[in-house]
Structure 1
Amino acid sequence: MSNTSSKVERINEILQETIYSIENNKEEISEIVEYARDDVKQIEKDLCKIKERVEEIIKEVDKLEIEERKSRSYLSNVSKNFNIYSEKDLKQAYDRANETRIRLLLKREEEKRLIERRKEQEFRLKSAIEVYKKAERVRKSVSVATEYLKGNLDEILFTVDHLNKRQVLGIKIIEAQEEERERLARDMHDGPAQSMANILVKTEICERLMDIDIKKSKEELQNLKTIARTTLKDIRKTIYDLRPMSLDDLGLIPTLERYIYNFIDYTGIDVKLNVLGDVVNLNSTVEIAIFRIIQEALNNIFKHSKATEARIVMEYSPTRLNLSIRDNGIGFNIDKVNELGRDTTGGFGLINIRERVELLKGNLEIKSSPGKGTRINIFIKLPEEEN
């Protein structure tokens, strides 16, 4: 009886922690919604300016066309009446006509570029509005879920009569989180990332068309291309962090190798991955959870340990997966971190790892002391379908 009571209490703790986590994330989601709304307003403002400029350019082109026709007519008249006009008059008329023609060509080219920018900005506005609407729907859904959990907590506890139901509930939560991340990653990939790639193409086209002050124009275009490439790289990194699509295509191990490669390049920490035993294709939810555990552990090492080396060992056996993550960093006092709990960033990172391990019905061991590095051992029993 006491064992059942302790299980129910633990379930209660998990649900309370879930509510706490959702409440904390609500602020971040609200910030995303506000950012999306501000982005829409800024794009609308920029689009309005571009439209005003297009109208001004069109008027200037119309004036230049009239001026160009007059200059050509005057040049024709001077050419025909060479007995009336001098050679100097003819040269001036020709220079004037040629200058007007060049100004007209440049102004038409500027008009063409502005119209292209207007189309791109209109497309960006459409995409930004879609992102804003989706973010708003997510915020409403999270609020509804929070209120539901708060209002039905006792009912949920009564209906959960076995410890295995905790695992099912946890996996469903992970699946919902990953599905939302996948949708957001797909939206960003199809929207902002494609727009950034299009900017690179447009800059190269403009670079070829520019024929005035070539040196300066090329410098500006090169700067723009650098900014665009950096933005594109950041967006794609965000996409990868939200949902590593290679998990579905390549599997867990290749995805980890790629992530570790990028982690080494970004942090300078030497990370080695050693895989033992026969690799088993696990359930996608389990693979995602393992990936997030390793991701969180490496993030803690980078932020807090001051380590120069880290080692990850994954051992597959017929019945379970053993995972070991260790570093040569400064270590920490485990008791103090447990006491501080969520009040410290490092403690919160370990809590995230612990919660994911528990949701997978696994065991977690943390060994650390000041000056002696940290070692995390995780043992996850594989479901029968994987066995």
Structure 2
Amino acid sequence: MALKKVNIKALDNIVEQMINTVDRSKHEIFQIGEQCRHDHDNILKELEKIKAEVNKVIDEGDLLEVQSRISRQRLSTISLHFKEYSEEQVRTAYEQAHDLQSKLMICRQLEKQLRERRDDLERRLLILQQTIERAETLVSQISIVSNYLVSDIKEMGEALEDAKMKQDFGLRIIEAQEEERKRLSREIHDGPAQLLASVLIRSDLAEKMHKEEGPERSLEEIRSLKEMIRTTLYEVRRIIYDLRPMALDDLGLIPTLTKYLATVEEYHKTTNIEFVYFGKDTRLPQKYEVALFRLIQEAVHNALKHAQSRTIQVKVEIQSEHVYVIVKDDGIGFDVNVKKSGSYGMMGMRERVEILDGLLSIHSKQGAGTVISIKIPVALPSLSSI
């Protein structure tokens, strides 16, 4: 028995060293990614400047091309009627043509150099973007390994006989956690973080306008800033609501959906959201209420973000053995046979429905909107007696 304890202690020491090494590697990769992101932003600024210079040089070259052509035509005319022009006029015409041709050659050479510089910067941007993506992937993978080492391997002990089953289950949970964190990080980065960065830039602009153009112009910018801040606040609230709608535990599915859809409609003033419920307002088991809320939330979010819908209809019907959900929009639609990259929302919806042994169907056509139908089996014998 003493030997067993010694072995476990030695294993814990090894695992501790592994965890420290993994954490250091994760930090180093994160620093590499941040440095690449910094370089990416600097190169992007330089690229925009180079593009502007290229356009300017092209315009100057085109103008010189026209002027050079005119001077050559004049030189040709002088050559044909040489005796009609003085020596000074002939010399001036030759010098002007030569000067324009020289300027044109210099301009075209500069254009070539700028184009090469632009192409080089674009290639570097692509390489940096790929490096950033690889760094993010590695950090996510290392986080999975680190969490697994911390949460599972340290406590293996006498449960080694079923370690394989626990390992698979634990990894799936950790992977799901990391994917959720990655999704949340992406939403914060693409939503509130970008908006707040824009607010900061626009606030500096408003201050500059106040100094240079007066208070009226700056007030217009401040009104625009207020709208951006309102959008940011909505995005933050939406992300918090995505994490866990507290009303779901207290009030149940139908009241929570009613409140959620009304809030969404209030913010998206150009979209009308209709919610229809059939059946008794009966509480479902918690896992069903959470799953159904998430499914409807994702479907409505897709209709607003991707479909450009003006009207969204949400129908929920609870029967004794099944729950039916239909989310219909009048948006731009899409080809259901074409798999788009980054379509994690639809994938997540299918996985949720499959876990509950349900059915999900999506009918959509470009220009004709989308209809999402969900059927979830529930065991509620009490409903049949109502």
- Which TM-score tier does this pair reach, normalised by the shorter chain? 0.3 to 0.5
After TM superposition, the score normalised by the length of structure 2 is: 0.41
